[in-house]
Amino acid sequence: MLRLCLATATLLAMTRGWSFYEFLINSLIKMKLVLEGKTIMASQNFKRKKINFNLTNRKRTRSVTEEALRQSEERYRTILENIEDGYYEVDLPGNFTFFNDSLCRMLGYSRDEMIGMNNQQYTDPENRKKLFEAFNTVYKTREPMKGFAWEVFRKDGTKLFGEASISLIKDSNGQPIGFRGIARDITERKRAEEALNSEKQRFQTLSEQAPFGMVMIDQEGDFKYINPKFTELFGYDLNDLPNGKTWFRKAYPNPTYRHDIISSWLNDLKSFRRGEKRSRTFTVTCKNGTEKIINFIPVQLETGENLVACEDISDRKRAEEEMMVLEEQLRHSQKMEAIGQLAGGVAHDFNNLLTVIKGYSQLSLLDLKESDPLWGNIQEIHKATQRAADLTRQLLAFSRRQILDPKVLDINTLLKDLDKMLRRIIGEDIELVTLLAEDLGRVKIDPGQFEQIILNLAANARDAMPSGGKLTIETANIELDKEYALTHIGVRPGPYVCLSFGDTGVGIPFGMKDKVFEPFFTTKEKGKGTGLGLSTVYGIVKQSEGNICIYSEPDYGTTFKVYFPRVEEKLDTVLKQEKIDFLPRGNETVLLVEDDPLVRGLAHRILIQQGYKVLEAANGEEALHEARKHSGEKIPLLLTDVVMPQMGGKELSEKIKLLIPGIKVLYTSGYTGNAVVHHGVLEPGTHFLQKPFSPKMLSYKVREVLDR
């Protein structure tokens, strides 16, 4: 009979969703009542039918029934005591009348403490009210209640989350006399649910406020979640992107690029381990058509889903590219500066030698007649010396160590004056077009050096168009802003005048644009150019505080853009230097200071021949000694080299002026130092003679300084 009840309880639990323990207990109770009812009925029938049944058989039957009841109650008690859930019975006011040990353990009370205990002792007012309402509902409806959630307090004060079933207890007449049910401790489950909800809430908050896009993709490739930043980045929401196929089609419209990206993703998915992160950077087309460079960081979760973070790195990539350009410009600038220092040093020493060769060759020519056999030889030496002097002048221009005499000019006027010369340089098969701005601003530049810029750029354009073409020279006012200055080394933002030279020639091969300004670098055939023309332009522009840029593609021509700072000053008058056909003479005393003995000997000879009295010194200390030695004599002129060991020409002149007030100074040098110039520009009132000089130039300059 007990087995039949257990089977029946199990079947009901499966078909009606009842608690197995609850219906097991209900079945046992019903079985007990049935057994008791059957026993009574059997006894009554026995009395009616077997009135004369003997007393011995009656006792035997009663003993069997009582044993069955005892065994049933024992099984019932054993089951209740061994289930993990708590079983309880309370009267109608809610006082415990029966319970199992599991309920005692759950609440932390002993059996003696719990007998007659009311729910006021283990609930707070809120849960007490909930419990009352649940009991009242069961009482009124006569229907059991399942899954009733409540909170109670254990004896030690800790909170317990419970889930209980409630059903009525009725007497033999069917009248309610109390409640019974199963109570289960769900504290751990409740805490796990709360922790899970907390994690979900935290994830929700983080994803909603994340500074990067997030998308959750299931194993079938469907998009399950997109955070607001994702929509902000790309413009797409879940309605636009139901799955990965749609995303790839919209985000990467170029089929070839899309194929490469899909292949990359598939390869990653094959080798991905759960929890592994592997970033990939792609260019994404947004909903509005704009493109962004995105860093994707996918993570495969334990559930098999993929969580992908999307970070917009467009600005960072652009900044990195700009930084790379700036670093390359800096390296190029440092390389040019190093080459310039070398070129300046070579030009200084070489100019001393050229001064001697040029000077003595000219002195020799003065003493010879053209019919003399030596005259022609010395004339060739003089011509070669002049070409060498031009070479050192170009090196000095590149190294920014030449002396400038800047004037405030209108370069439109200079270009018009050079028009005939330009047309002779480029030839008849090249069309010359000039587009000159009417309201062009003024610049401050050495007119002679500006002419060198124009002639060198024109010659470069001519060589780039051997079969003819078109050369366009254009001027314009322009503003170089901070953004341009940040991406171009050495450029200050502000107003500029732009001079543009554009040709339709062969262009510059890829990878060579950064080298065209280096001295002796050329893309021309051997013998077609020295490679100093553009380096000269570069040096003059930089020394004039300007900037030069080059734009070129093979077979599509080249354009040079030269920027000079605009100035708000009055135009200067440019006087053409007259040609010197004689050697001026004099009879004054000149203190000659030169550390190179050959140059000093040449200068001494020239000055003596022109009638001057010369006091010689090899360095500053000797010069001071000579000044003190001839303190009673009038010495109107100090002719000194700028760069000398121990004491330079500038320092010497200051000390000499203390000994000989009113003495005039003429400086000479093979290249500029910052002693008498500032960024290559002579200080006001400074007289300077550039090496290599000729006897005529020295004689003229000495006479000019003395006469001022």
Segment 422-445, tens digit of pLDDT: 888 888 888 888 899 988 999 988
Residue showing tokens 């040093």: 345
What CA–CA distance (Å, rounded) separates 128 from 112? 22
Confidence at residue 670, expressed as pLDDT on a 0 to 100 scale: 67
- Segment 171-220, tens digit of pLDDT: 888 899 999 998 988 888 888 888 877 777 777 777 777 778 888 888 88
Confidence at residue 196, expressed as pLDDT on a 0 to 100 scale: 78
What CA–CA distance (Å, rounded) separates 100 from 102? 5
What CA–CA distance (Å, rounded) separates 630 from 491? 52
Confidence at residue 64, expressed as pLDDT on a 0 to 100 scale: 62
Confidence at residue 680, expressed as pLDDT on a 0 to 100 scale: 47
Confidence at residue 166, expressed as pLDDT on a 0 to 100 scale: 92
Closest CA to 443 of 475, 485, 491: 475
Positions of the chain with pLDDT under 70? 1-82, 271-277, 325-326, 328-349, 389-405, 489, 511, 519-533, 573-582, 670-684
Phi, psi of 278 (to 5 degrees): -145, 105
Confidence at residue 77, expressed as pLDDT on a 0 to 100 scale: 64
Category of 527 on φ-ψ map: left (φ > 0), alpha (ψ -120 to 50) or beta: left
> Widest CA span of the chain, in angstroms?
185
Confidence at residue 31, expressed as pLDDT on a 0 to 100 scale: 55
Q: Report all structural domains of the chain as residue ranges with CATH numbers, in order of start.
A: 2-184 (3.30.450.20), 210-312 (3.30.450.20), 407-567 (3.30.565.10), 589-707 (3.40.50.2300)
Report if pTM > 0.75. Answer: no
Please, are residues 167 and 144 in contact by the beta-carbon 8 Å criterion?
A: yes
Confidence at residue 201, expressed as pLDDT on a 0 to 100 scale: 77
Beta-strand ranges (E) seen in 642-704 are: 664-669, 677-678, 681-682, 687-690
What count of residues does the chain have? 708
End-to-end CA distance of the chain: 143
Whole-number CA gyration radius for the chain:
54
Closest CA to 666 of 613, 614, 704, 609: 704
